Every structure is written in structure tokens, then in C-alpha cells.
Structure 1
Amino acid sequence: MGDVELAEALRRQGISDTRVLEAIRGLERAEFVPESMRSAAGQDSPLPIGHGQTISQPFIVAFMTQALNPQPGERVLEIGTGSGYQTAVLARLGGEVYTVETLAELAGPARERLERMGLPNIHFRVGDGTAGWPEVAPFDAIIGTAAPERLPPALYQQLRPGGRLVLPVGPLRGAQELLRVTRPSGGGAPRVEKLLGVRFVPMTSTPPPEFLH
């Protein structure tokens, strides 16, 4: 049946991209959370999924996806598969999705879940998300569902010219900001936009401060 009421609530909260709303409407968030949490799946709040990780609140998933603006046929890198909910949204938008998860305990069930749902064009890897997926770069868009203290240089380097990256950045105990970083088509400095104050679980491997401070 899908999350019709959830999609409508997100529309009232200001999510205007009809493609994003349709992608969320076509999924059931309850399928992506532990059975003990399914009664709360329709709430606009993050929920624990085990191993110290969470599934983001639906508004944040929708907001980040809208900010990323993935288009059909684009190559999209996701850092942090988690339960696979954000992955599923991206896949329903028609992208070729490459998703990296540090924790094998989450990556395995997420892969089984998404394959069972029959979502196409998803490629999986267990590994360090801060390193991206260099073998298949460049990407049109990159999205991160955990927060490094600084933007990992490898992720920016794996963006194609004109590509964009949406990622929460900041310390675990302190102010985090959701950033949209665009790599200019003609070269030069990246365009960095601060979109929203957020709070995410930390990205488990953080590189030296080589790019953003």
C-alpha cells in the first residue's frame, strides 16, 4: 500500500518535489525497521535499527533527497546503507545507486531486503564510507547518512564536474550542519551551501582535515 499518509505529511512540511514524495509514498517504512519498532514507523522521527545506528526521520530523508535532486540514469553514491530506506528512495528515483556500509551486520540484511523488494540498479559494498567507491567513480551525486567531522576529500574528488554532494558534517557532540557541495563544471573552488542544522550518528572513519574545516 505504501506510506500515503507519511508522504502527505511531508508535503505539508514543505517537501515540494513530487518525485521524492512519490518515491516515499511507494515504500513502507515499517519494512526497514526492527519488528519491535514497526508501530512507530509512521512517525516523523529517527528510530534505532541496531548496532548503534538509526534510520533517519522521514523529513530528513525527503529533505536530503530533494536537495540532492537525483535524476533518472545518474550514478549516485550513498555512504551509509543502514537499513536501506534511503537507498530504496534513491533507487525508486531511477538512479544507478552504489551504496557503501561499514557494518556488515547492517549491510547483509539491507541487501536481502532490497533484493526481495525487486528494486533495480543497486550495487552494494561493505567498507569504509569515507573512501567512497573509487573504482566506479565519478558520480553525478553523493549522499551521506552519517556525519564525519569534516568532509572526506575522497568523496569530493569522486564527484564529476557539475556533480553535487549532500552530507551532514560536524562533531558527535556539537553543532552539525547539512551541507550541499557542488563541484564547478569549469574548475575552481567548490560551492558550499549550509542547508540545515542536523544531528546524525558519526561516520566511523574520519580523515585528516584536508578539505573543509
Structure 2
Amino acid sequence: MTVMAERTSSRMSVDLFERMAEFAASEDETVRFEFIDGRIGLKKVTNGNHGEPAMWLVFQCKHARPDLTLNTTGQGLKVEAYRKGRARPDAVLTRVGYFTDQGEWADPDGVLMAVEITSYDADTHRRDRVDKPRAYAEAGIPVYLLIDRDHHTILVHSEPDPEGGYADVHTVRLGGKVTLPMPVGIELDTAELKRWAD
């Protein structure tokens, strides 16, 4: 779950944000910071119904594409095209070894897909359906996958537009089949995701 603080960051530099995030992580391992659309967000440790869809997706991706890995450790991404942002997707799909030696905030150039799983909090709509699709598209991430547990759907965003957002958004009800476009190129049967929608 992420709780966004409604603070304007016009005076906060990315360097200051990163120092704050590093300090907070050393003091409290239950939260991690994000910096999106000029707002600081706290990303809290999730529960099983939030984590299980990510693990399910890990197995699906590895089975279909052994050359790829789905990182679910909270790897940070520099989404600098969008107001010098820093994001922590629920999962990030890359070629095996892409994050080696990249540190806490990696370059998004080698990211094939960012994944978010909705949380049951007041900020989910703005964070997962508005801010993050725009930030990921502007950073050039080819596919953004949103597992929307609130609406029992899976949304596949593709064709990133550097001016903001994705040109194509395909929605499928949980239980249906969906194809993740290239460069991912994986078909998913989402029936099992229905278990964690409530």
C-alpha cells in the first residue's frame, strides 16, 4: 500500500529525496519511499493477497520466457522524464541480470514491463491508474500491467507516449486470457488471479 503525502516538492531535489529515503529505510524496514508527480509516497509492506498475484506472475513469466526475470523486491526506478521521479513498482520485468550493479534507483531503459497491484486504500486510483501510468510511459517502459483487484480486471498499457500516458490500454476481466504485447510476448490465463481479488 502506498500513502502519498500532498506536499509540493518544487524545492526538493532528487538528491535530497534519495538521502531521505535511504535514512528512512535504515530506520524502518516496513516502509519505502517513492517520489512521483512532485509528491512523496510511503510504500508499506504488503499483505499476502497483494503479494500472491506478483508471485503468480513471476512463475508465469519464467515459464513462458526463461530469458527474463520478474523482480518483486521493490527495486526502485528512475522515472526522471516525469518531474525527476523515483518509483517502486510491485514488480519489474527485465532480461536476467539487468539490475546488477545498478543500486537502489535503476535506469528504466532495460525495463520491459512495470507491474502494479492495487491496494485497498484511498490513494489507489490516483497512484496506480493516473500517476504511475504517466510516469512509466514518459520513462519509455514498453508495457505497464495493472492488476486491479478493486475492479476485478487486468489492464495492459502499451505504446508509451513520451508526452504522457500509453496510447493503447486493453482491459480484461479477471478470469479471461490476455496477451502482453512485445517486447514481453506472453499470454496469461488470469483465472487464478480471482482468488486474490477480495
Pairwise TM-score range, normalised by the shorter structure: 0.3 to 0.5
Q: TM-score, normalised by structure 2?
A: 0.35
Greater helix fraction, Structure 1 or Structure 2? 1
Greater strand fraction, Structure 1 or Structure 2? 2
Q: TM-score, normalised by structure 1?
A: 0.33
